[in-house]
Structures are given as structure tokens and as C-alpha cells.
Structure 1
Amino acid sequence: MSTLLLTGASGLVGARLLPRLVAAGFECRALVRGEHPLPPEVVAVRGDLADPDSLRAAVEGVDLVVHLAALFRTQDEAAIWRANLDGTRNLLSAVEAYAPRARVVMASTGNVYDADAARPALETDACAPTAAYPASKVAAERLLRESGLTWAVLRLPFVYGEGDGHLASLAALAPRFGLHPAHTYSVAHHRDVAAAVLLAAEGRMDGRVVNLTDDAAVTVFELARYGGVLIEGSAEPLVDPWSGRMDGSLIRELGFVPVVPTVAVAAREGSL
């Protein structure tokens, strides 16, 4: 049985991913700073990515590290850089020292791409982040690629499902970030995040940056409505129409087949 460490186990994605990793047969550890509800099969390891000395117990002897932990819901840009870049640096240093043969799968974001793109973003496209969160993730990706470890980077889109509240939050996010109701975004259900991580755990993505998307991009208006909120429409011209859109061809070439191919399917299944 392979031993796995998950960071970010208490987040929206991590809390839904961890039980699936257990079900897949991994012996799971979760890096936690405090008390968090975890599946009974999971070993909680106290530590903090900001404290390098606390990470040895978490990584020693692991075969796989799934690095989800990140900070982005804050206006404190310095804190974002400390968590996402310095925290990743500390984690990778610990893996290099105590589990150098481990595979590291790191979650990143589709927000790293150029908002002015003329088509859905490919993994080979240059990154042009304009905010601290995606910029810090690009820098963290670079650390991983240059680490000498076995690695994969999974760039996540708008993730939703299983009552996580993300769809309903668009009613507040749309005016805050000036999101046009007709703007389309790449999305993925939590079940497909797990499917992609398990694919990476097999080594299918080694040495690659890979976009995750389902089979159909969805408008902000539709996403909010699926979340139970009707937002105001607009006939104003759409600016940067490809921002937030990723090309998902590569991950399919690597063997990925969406478990939940569209938001409409998730709605029919009752898994929003």
C-alpha cells in the first residue's frame, strides 16, 4: 500500500478529495495545523508549511505528496506569497531531504494564463498572471519543476459540486470582480479532480503541467443559476472572452475521462 501525504485537507477541494484517496487504497496522512475532522483511516500529522522543522514527520517515508494547500481569499499579498511560494519551498525541501523518491502532484490554477488570450489556454502557453495568487502559483510551479523530484502540476479550473457553495458564491463574486454574465469558464466537478489526481498518482502526468476541464465551459449566468441564484444579465460587449478558459486535450490524451462531463449532468444527478 502506497503512503500519501495531502496538504490542504481542510479546504473545499481537499476535504472532498481525501475520502476518495482513502477509497483508492492509499495509506493517507494529512498535514494539519489544528483540529480538523478527518476520515478515521487518515493519520493527522501536526505541522505547518511555514515551519520547515515541522515537516519531517509528515513527509518521511511517503510515496506520494498531493499539495493542495494555498492561500488566496485575502487582500494580504505578502501572506499569499508566504503561503504559496515559501510554503511550497519548505515542503519541497523536506521531500528532497526525507522522501526524495516520492512523486509530488501540485494543484495550481487556470488563472495563471493571459486574460487577453485569443483561444482556450494550452499548457505550453506563456503565463501572464496579474494578481498575487496566480503569480505565486506560477512561481511555486517553477520551484517544483526545477526541484529534481518526480513531479506533476495540475491546473484546476472553477471547481464545484457536492454542496461546497462555490456555485452560489458567484452572486457575490460576479459584481466584486466585474464578471460579465455571458463570460464562460472552464469547470470541473470534485469527482473529476479526484480522477485527475489519481491519474497523476499513477505517473501518467510525470514531468508535465496539465489543464483539468470537463467537457463544456459554462457562462457565469448559468453557473449562478445552477447555484440557485438568478443574477442580472447584460447585452454589453464581452471583453477578454477566453479568460478563464483552458484547453483540456492533453489530459484526455493521458487517459482522463470526466466522471461528471458537464454541470448539467451534475444537476441531473443531484451532485451540485
Structure 2
Amino acid sequence: MSTQSNKILVTGVTGLVGARLLRRLVEAGLDCRVLVRHEKDVPTGVPAVVGDLFDPVALAEAVQGVSDIIHLAAVFRTPDTELIWKSNLEGTRALIAAVKDQAPAARFIMASTSNVYPADQGRPGREDDAVAPQQAYPASKVAAEQELRESGLTWAVLRFPFVYGDGDGHLEDLPKYALAGKWHPAMRMSTIHHRDIATAMHLALTGVMDDRIVNIADEAPTSIYELAQLVGGQLESSAEPLTNPWYLLSDSSLARSLGFQPVVRTVHQAVQEKLM
């Protein structure tokens, strides 16, 4: 299906992922509309509805006449678990209700996380794995996924791993996360560059991911130790046995079978091509 005549609502466009994805969608000639909390957040030249996921009037206006929804709005790094659940589950539920009422034929694409997979399983996380995460962010995402899957809408869920690049500073913060989490330096992690968030979304807009959960990742999980070095950080080395060696690794073979091909295949390529 061509997306050139479609109208796409994008939520979460002031976030690290959303701001970079919206720019790429607009540059590709897609007709986008955004839902933003404040007038000052409106990107130049992009039609906007001012409101939030808990404003029924704004939601109804935002989804009216759209063919696709790209739902990125989420709360992640905060100790306020109530806010995480309200934003990620209740907010998604409200958006689903508005879409069912105003644009029931629209495709609803939701960004989720590969953090949903158990730390102690014996292989990379796969879309059909049972998931019951304990932390608020992935748990709220699983609950939101379930709401969408049961909504009766045409849907797709894209589970993203660690996102980096385009000057977002996320990878530069990795040594801090590793120290706080006491991660083993040999632990490898799936990654995806912002360019390939767009690659995946363009593919999802064609319909090939409809009614599926799909892991999106690049081609080379990299060790925490190496990633820290790439951004000028330093982690203490260790030869101790690595427990839970598949934690934070996701199996993206389904995405590849559906036609996903990352443009930035590895973090090393991103460094070489100055895409960080």
C-alpha cells in the first residue's frame, strides 16, 4: 500500500525518538499531523493538535481522518511508577478509544521495547516468548500491547532495543547505566540507530507488519565494554562468568523475513560514518 496519500498522526514527537523520526517522515514526503502538549512544541510546517492523551476533545481532533497512527508517546526513566502506568497504559487506551470512534479503519503502529523479555532465558528474545516483566516501564508496555492487540483495530507493535545516534546522547550515557545496573562488561546488547527506526516505520506503514509484534534491531549486538569505549567511556574489565548471557538481546529474524534491512548495520558503522 502506498503511503504517499495517507495522513499519519504521530504522538511523542518531542522525545528523542519522535523528534528524529518525524523529521525523516516529513523529509520523505509523508503527510504528518502531531499531537503536542504545548504550542511551542509544534514542529515547523507540521499541522498540530495541542493537547494530550487525556484530553478527549484534542484526541478526537487529532485522529479524525487519519489513515495511520504512529504512537511513540511514553514515559520511561522516572521513579514515578504511577506516572509510567498512567501514561503508557491509560494513555494508549484513550488513544485506542479515540481511533475506534473517529478512524476505525486506521492502522495503529505502537513503539514498544525489547526490555520485555526475561533476563534468564536461554536465547535472544523472540516475539512469541511469554513475557511478564516486573519493572514498571516494560510491564506497562506489555499491558498496552495487549490492549492494542484486543482492540479490533489493524495494529502493529515494533519492539525496539537500545536506540542511539543523531546526537541524542543516549549511548554516551551507557557507562552510567552499566555501572548503576552492575552490568557485566561482556554482556552484549541489541541496538538500533534512529535512521532505522524510520526504516522500520516506513515498512510498517506498507502493512507487512500488520497484526504482528516485530523485534527491530541492527545486525551486530555489541558488548557493553566495547560500546563504552566507542563513546570514550571506560568500564572495568572482567573475566568472571557471565550470567544471563542473552539479556537485552532480541531476535530480529522475523523483521528480516518481512523485508527489514537496517541502513546502519552496526554501531561501528555509525562511528565510521559520523552518525553518532
Taking structure 2 as the reference length, the TM-score comes to 0.96
CA contact (8 A) 1:64 1:104 kept: yes
State yes or no: 1:89 paired with 2:102.
Answer: no
1:220 matched residue in structure 2: 224
TM-fit CA distance, 1:237: 2.0
TM-fit CA distance, 1:35: 3.8
2:33 matched residue in structure 1: 29
Counterpart amino acid of 2:188? T
CA contact (8 A) 2:99 2:106 kept: yes
State yes or no: 1:99 paired with 2:95.
Answer: no
Show CA shifts across 1:195-239 (max 9, x none).
Answer: 001100010100000000100101111112222212222222211
Identical positions, percent:
57
**Any unmatched runs of 5+ in structure 2?**
none
TM-align CA RMSD: 1.1
Correspondence for 2:202 among 198, 203, 220: 198
1:262 matched residue in structure 2: 266
CA contact (8 A) 2:36 2:42 kept: no
State yes or no: 1:189 paired with 2:193.
Answer: yes
1:119 matched residue in structure 2: 123
TM-fit CA distance, 1:24: 2.2
1:180 matched residue in structure 2: 184
Correspondence for 1:171 among 168, 175, 179: 175
CA contact (8 A) 1:28 1:41 kept: no
Mapped to 1, the partners of 2:20 and 2:145 lie a distance apart of 23
Question: Structure 2 matches for 1:137-148, cutoff 5 A?
Answer: 137-148=141-152
Mapped to 1, the partners of 2:214 and 2:127 lie a distance apart of 6
1:7 matched residue in structure 2: 11
Moved over 6 A (4+): none
TM-fit CA distance, 1:37: 4.8
TM-fit CA distance, 1:36: 4.3
State yes or no: 1:243 paired with 2:247.
Answer: yes
State yes or no: 1:17 paired with 2:21.
Answer: yes
Counterpart amino acid of 2:154? T
SS in structure 2 at match of 1:55: helix
Correspondence for 1:234 among 221, 224, 238: 238
Mapped to 2, the partners of 1:253 and 1:95 lie a distance apart of 29
1:53 matched residue in structure 2: 57
1:208 matched residue in structure 2: 212
Counterpart amino acid of 2:66? V
Show CA shifts across 1:138-184 (max 9, x none).
Answer: 00000000000010000000010011101110121111122211110
2:157 matched residue in structure 1: 153
CA contact (8 A) 2:49 2:58 kept: no
TM-fit CA distance, 1:114: 1.0
CA contact (8 A) 1:30 1:43 kept: yes
CA contact (8 A) 2:220 2:266 kept: yes
**Any unmatched runs of 5+ in structure 1?**
none
Aligned residue-pair number: 272
Taking structure 1 as the reference length, the TM-score comes to 0.97
Counterpart amino acid of 1:221? Y
Mapped to 1, the partners of 2:235 and 2:82 lie a distance apart of 33
SS in structure 1 at match of 2:172: coil
